[in-house]
């Protein structure tokens, strides 16, 4: 029962996830900052190096984040452009293959068409008559009116071209 105020201090226990060396450094720093011995740090005690260091570390962290973001952006842009080049090459190859297939198919068709034209051009009058007869009535012995009508109904524009 003395005249001085008693200060109850509780013993600080090191957390399991903190190394002994780090724990000692943190305790020493806290004691240095707690210049009035109140076991708490007031704003006035934070002035100076630790406040400057804290702000500088924040600036460094923000700059590092910005740099990482810029690097990530550049990497993403390069990836997009690289993918674009790959896709362009792939599409170009596919287009060239498609054009070759079309060209080959067209050649086969035009060659076949030319051969058919040559056969038609070399037909005798008898062969031409048999061809139109088959087109009008199939394998019937004679051309009936309705067979003739069905054949001619879409060819009336050609009637004036018939040579009599």
Give per-residue pLDDT as tens, 80-131.
999 999 999 999 999 999 999 999 999 999 999 999 999 999 999 999 999 9
Least confident of 5-9, 90-94, 132-136: 5-9
Least confident of 4-13, 82-91, 151-160: 4-13
Token couple for 93 = 């190859």
Residues 65 and 22: their CA atoms lie apart, in Å, by 26
On the question of pLDDT at 37 being above 90, the answer is no
Least confident of 7-11, 31-35, 37-41, 64-68: 7-11
Question: 148 and 132 in contact (C-beta within 8 Å)?
Answer: no
**Residue 33: its pLDDT value, please?**
79
Residues 42 and 108: their CA atoms lie apart, in Å, by 93
Residues 35 and 41: their CA atoms lie apart, in Å, by 8
- For residues 64-68, average pLDDT: 98
- For residues 11-28, average pLDDT: 92
Residues 6 or more apart whose Cβ sits within 8 Å of residue 147: 136, 137, 140
Token couple for 96 = 């060239």
Question: 16 and 27 in contact (C-beta within 8 Å)?
Answer: no
| Backbone torsion region of residue 6, taken as left when φ is above 0, otherwise alpha when ψ lies between -120 and 50, otherwise beta | beta
**Residue 29: its pLDDT value, please?**
86
| Boundaries of every domain in the chain | 18-45
- Model confidence pTM above 0.95: no
């Amino acid at each position: 029962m003395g005249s001085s105020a008693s200060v109850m201090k509780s013993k600080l226990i090191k957390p399991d996830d903190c190394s002994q060396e780090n724990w000692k450094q943190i305790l020493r720093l806290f004691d240095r900052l707690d210049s009035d011995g109140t076991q708490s740090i007031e704003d006035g005690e934070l002035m100076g190096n630790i406040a400057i260091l804290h702000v500088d570390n924040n600036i460094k962290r923000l700059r590092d984040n910005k740099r990482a973001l810029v690097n990530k952006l550049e990497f993403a842009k390069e990836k997009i452009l690289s993918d674009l080049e790959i896709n362009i090459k792939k599409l170009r190859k596919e287009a060239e293959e498609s054009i070759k297939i079309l060209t080959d198919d067209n050649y086969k068709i035009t060659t076949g068409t030319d051969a058919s034209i040559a056969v038609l051009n070399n037909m005798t009058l008898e062969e031409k008559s048999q061809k139109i007869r088959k087109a009008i009535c199939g394998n019937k012995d004679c051309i009936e009116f309705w067979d003739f009508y069905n054949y001619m109904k879409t060819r009336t524009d050609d009637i004036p071209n018939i040579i009599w």
